[in-house]
Amino acid sequence: MGNNILEMRGIEKYFGGVHALSNMKLQVEKGEVHALLGENGAGKSTLIKILGGIFIPDKGEIIINGKLVNIRSVKDSQNNGVRIIHQEIALVPHLSVAENIFLGKEHISRIGLRKCWKMEKQAQDMLLRFGVDINVKTKIRKLSIAQQQIIEIIKAVSFDAKIIVMDEPTSSITESDVHKLYEIINNLKYSSVSVIFITHKIQELFDIADRITVLRDGEYIATRKTTETNKDELIKLMVGRELTKYYTRSSKATKKVILEAKALSKKGVFKDVSFKVRKGEVVGFAGLVGAGRSEIMEAIVGINPYESGHVFYKGGKKKYVKFSDAINDGISFITEDRKKTGLIMNNSVGFNILLCVLDQIIKGARVDSKKKYKIAYEFIEKLNIKTPSLQQNVSKLSGGNQQKTVIAKWLSTKPELLIMDEPTRGVDVGAKAEIYSIIDDLAKQGIAIIMISSELPEIINMADRIYTVCNGHINGELQKDDFDQEKIMHLVTGGVTNEYQSNVI
């Protein structure tokens, strides 16, 4: 095995009659960052859950540190030096940093009392080792998502983990937090800890990974050194074809303004927010996490109303105090977290698509089955949602198909203005390309679209205009010809342009 700390070979896994993994393999070297790349449904999660003892393989071998191991439970996995940091943080929010780090292995005195001082001192030493300035007495609930992820990593190392799996660790953190995470990962490498890094953001792989293993349809495709590959090759390996039209943006906006916000303010959240959106236009809102982009949109649609200012929609002055009023007026809002606020995860695809138009298919005690199936199948076909049936539980779909189900739910209301908050978060490149094509088609139909995105390439390639948001205030407006990644980053981190100050709406 040479320098390999982990080898998984011949891994097979069935779910019912579905072959989820077929002759899968993975080799990870000591002290390397090894990325797993593949579309949703490619088998990444299944493979990692087998390594983590959540699933038991039907066939295959796992070798750690040159020794054949039998992982039948999470405890078996941890006893073999494996720790998985899931996308959903698994810390106890009401306990302190130190208490979370030592949870399950507390220092206990002879009379059965916890040695809090000892745990706090050791925890603080661990944080200092990684250059992290957090008081170990702080409750977890008071930390940012990025800080909680760092505590998860330190907790894993405190258990003598030699292999740490990070599942989408940068999906909800700021650019500066990403750099801090990279520093910690590099510290792990120098300590001979191996990191398996899962992400849909291909550029991240070139920033942090040493090697990349690509999976497709439950099968191993290839492993490449990061220095010997490029984005185009990786996409082709992932999807089995070249995505020649990754971003699709062909329509042009009209001159008709459908929404105008004037001096909107909400104390402590945003201030003096003004902008316009035209029919058939894709307007991008760029900003760091916590800048106030989502809160501005929630205020406009009545989820958390603004306190002062005015909104004009379709030529009339509006102030929605309930989201349902905005929906009835032709405004739809795709929120950033499809699992918490976009879908009812324990229900079917059909139920989720039809959720906002039940009044159209239920009359009294009668369900119009013909109309029900017509609406649901129309959007499944239009958006190319891959599902075996309307009855399929939406939680069983890939991330990309879940996201398209959310879009279908809101398109069924026939909106004139569609707000999309992080529309491609957590979906693979193939699904992203499909969603971009959907956005372009909607704009062609004259639907106005507000796109909130933390991915600059996405917002640069899809938007007609971009507003930048910093600390609850719009500090820049860029036209298509002026789009520039450095300029946008300058603005979202607190800069301002003379052009915007002289042309504030």
Per residue in 241-279, pLDDT (tens digit) is: 666 667 888 877 788 999 999 999 999 999 999 999 999
Pick the closest to residue 279 from 248, 255, 315, 312 (CA basis): 255
Residue whose tokens read 């990870």: 28
The answer for residues whose C-beta is within 8 angstroms of residue 111's C-beta and 6 or more apart is none
- Look at residue 503 in the predicted model and tell me its pLDDT: 44
**Model confidence band, residue 497 (pLDDT cutoffs 50, 70, 90):** low
Structure tokens at 406: 């959310």
Where is average pLDDT lowest: 98-112, 191-205, 240-254, 412-426?
240-254
State mean pLDDT over 395-407.
88
- The span from the CA of 489 to the CA of 355, in Å, is 38
Provide φ and ψ at 379, rounded to 5°. -80, -30
Residue whose tokens read 């979906």: 427
> Is 199 in a helix, a strand, or coil?
coil
pLDDT at 500 > cutoff 70:
no
Helices (H), 329-479: 349-354, 358-361, 369-382, 399-411, 429-444, 456-462
- Look at residue 116 in the predicted model and tell me its pLDDT: 84
H/E segment holding residue 169: none
Task: Give me the count of residues in the chain.
Answer: 505
pLDDT at 476 > cutoff 80:
yes
Q: Which burial class, exposed, middle or buried, applies to 122 when counting CB atoms under 10 A from its CB (0-12, 13-18, 19+)?
A: middle
The answer for residues whose C-beta is within 8 angstroms of residue 66's C-beta and 6 or more apart is 1
How would you classify residue 199: left for phi > 0, otherwise alpha for psi between -120 and 50, otherwise beta?
beta
Per residue in 158-214, pLDDT (tens digit) is: 777 899 999 888 776 667 778 888 888 898 898 899 999 998 778 888 999 999 999
pLDDT at 457 > cutoff 90:
no
For strands 163-167 and 331-334, give the pairing. unpaired
H/E segment holding residue 149: helix 145-158
The answer for residues whose C-beta is within 8 angstroms of residue 21's C-beta and 6 or more apart is 11, 12, 13, 43, 46, 47, 50, 57, 218, 219
Q: Return the percentage of the chain with pLDDT > 90, whole number.
A: 50
Structure tokens at 136: 């170990």
| 278 strand-pairing partners | 257
pLDDT at 95 > cutoff 50:
yes
> Is 368 in a helix, a strand, or coil?
coil
